[in-house]
Amino acid sequence: MAPKVYVDGQSGTAGLRLMDYLAVRDDIELLRIDEERRRDASERARLINASDITFLCLPDDASREAVAMLENPDTTVIDASTAFRTDPSWAYGLPELASGQREAIRASHRIANPGCHATAFILLTRPLVDAGLLPEDSLLSATSLTGYSGGGKQMIAQYEAADNSRLDSPRSYALGLEHKHLPEMSLHARLGHAPVFVPVVGSFLKGLTVSIPLHAAQLKDGTTTLDIVNAYKAHYDGEQFVRVMNADDDASNLDQGFFDVQGCNDTNRVDLFVFGNSQRMTLMARLDNLGKGAAGAAVQCMNIRLGIDESRGLDIER
Ligand SMILES: NC(=O)C1=CN([C@@H]2O[C@H](COP(=O)(O)OP(=O)(O)OC[C@H]3O[C@@H](n4cnc5c(N)ncnc54)[C@H](OP(=O)(O)O)[C@@H]3O)[C@@H](O)[C@H]2O)C=CC1
Ligand SMILES: CC(=O)N[C@@H](CCC(=O)OP(=O)(O)O)C(=O)O
């Protein structure tokens, strides 16, 4: 029998993108809530408990409430919010994190989908920490340039109303330096300190790039850009959704010297780049915040949990 799948929050930004991925699948049975009843707790509880897999595409508090509604011990929850990403009883939904992570996801009824900025940051740093190139006590900084869909329905409406020319320029935010992704970044990258992280939202729908600037002195003595590329290649060997760009090809990845933050849009892919020289480097990871940064990653986790090809349904352009 086809597994029953329900999306709580199916008319939100991440939920809509997830429904796009799921609606065309003939190997699952998609449970839909009546639009007018989408905030009706008893109807949501009924559907959650009738499902084999429930995706939560809700704000953190609503996710916690939804988890409290669970009575069916066989239901698997894949939560897109920040609520459970550092909870040890939940599997962190980043199969490429380290060896054993895919198996942890496959075995768990509780999967916490990673944050979009966090996915990019962790995929850049964890392999270097594991390889001993980046010390665990490193004091890092990072920026993220992101499209406005990352801010959900409200921010999309704000940008698309287009009555405010101040929104034409990129805007830094989270300037209290307490962005909600910091705990998952340091925990899953195995770093002792959270980075100084400044995201910047721009006037484009989707696409995200995290950059981590480094002086060579922050790395193990003698580490070159090529050593970093090789560490990524070793760590991500066989991963279909992580593409490591070769240092020698850096120029060909740029458009007349400029980086394209939207270059992974409509895919579930993450591209990793290492730019710079023997003194100064910048590590960059690019993804679609609604693809590998949210809904694509959630579908990948569902496929892993179901024990089927993890790329199923993810090859569709959207
Ligand atoms: N946008 C992105 O790029 C990413 C988002 N996420 C995470 O995914 C989750 C959803 O974000 P996003 O889709 O952007 O947000 P949106 O604001 O676009 O959508 C939120 C959805 O949640 C529903 N909702 C809110 N409160 C409740 C409630 N109490 N009960 C039932 N439904 C409720 C809303 O319903 P209604 O339609 O009635 O408003 C809406 O459908 C968040 O936790 C976010 O952090 C994660 C990664 C990336
Ligand atoms: C532009 C914008 O506001 N982006 C959001 C990204 C949200 C996201 O990826 O993830 P979670 O909300 O699931 O953690 C932010 O930085 O908070």
ipTM: 0.96
pLDDT on residue 251: 60
Q: pLDDT class for 182, splitting at 50, 70, 90? A: very high
| Contact criterion met (CB below 8 Å) for 129 and 190 | yes
> What is the number of the ligand closest to the CA of 86?
2
Tokens standing for 15?
A: 């939920």
pLDDT on residue 246: 74
pLDDT on residue 150: 97
pLDDT surpassing 60 at residue 147: yes
Question: Taking Cα atoms as reference points, which of 295, 305, 297 lies closest to residue 108?
Answer: 305
| Contact criterion met (CB below 8 Å) for 213 and 141 | yes
Residues 93-113 have a mean pLDDT of 98
pLDDT surpassing 80 at residue 40: yes
pLDDT surpassing 70 at residue 59: yes
Residues 68-91 have a mean pLDDT of 98
pLDDT on residue 274: 95
pLDDT on residue 317: 55
Nearest CA to ligand 1 atom 29: 62
> Ligand 1 centre from 303 Cα, in Å?
22
pLDDT surpassing 70 at residue 37: yes
Which amino acid appears at position 36 of this protein? Answer: E
Q: Which helix (H) or strand (E) holds 187?
A: helix 182-189
- pLDDT tens by residue, 254-273: 888 899 999 999 999 999 99
> For the chain, which domains are there?
4-113+293-306 (3.40.50.720), 116-287 (3.30.360.10)
Q: pLDDT class for 126, splitting at 50, 70, 90? A: very high
Torsion sign, CA atoms 139, 143, 149, 155: positive
pLDDT on residue 254: 85
pLDDT on residue 256: 87
Tokens standing for 202?
A: 């721009």
pLDDT on residue 255: 85
Per the confidence metrics, is the pTM higher than 0.95?
yes
**Would you name the residues annotated as active-site residues?**
116
pLDDT surpassing 80 at residue 253: no
Question: Taking Cα atoms as reference points, which of 310, 313, 297, 298 lies closest to residue 123?
Answer: 297
> Ligand 2 centre from 249 Cα, in Å?
31
> Ligand 1 centre from 152 Cα, in Å?
7
pLDDT on residue 220: 98
Q: Give start and end residues of each alpha helix (H) in 143-181.
A: 152-161
pLDDT surpassing 80 at residue 135: yes
Ligand 1 lining (C-beta closer than 6 Å): 9, 11-15, 38-39, 57-60, 62, 80-82, 115-116, 149-150, 152-153, 289-290, 293-294
pLDDT on residue 73: 98
Q: Which residues pair with 282 in a beta bridge?
A: 213, 275
pLDDT on residue 163: 79
- pLDDT tens by residue, 195-241: 999 999 999 999 999 999 999 999 999 999 999 999 999 999 999 99
Residue 21, C-beta contacts closer than 8 angstroms, at least 6 positions apart: 295, 296, 299, 313, 314, 316, 318
As a whole number, the mean pLDDT across the chain is 95
Residue 161, C-beta contacts closer than 8 angstroms, at least 6 positions apart: none
Strand arrangement, sheet containing 141-146: 171-172, 196-201, 141-146, 208-215, 280-287, 270-276, 242-244
> What is the number of the ligand closest to the CA of 13?
1
- pLDDT tens by residue, 159-172: 999 777 889 999 99
**Residue for token digits 């009924």?**
46
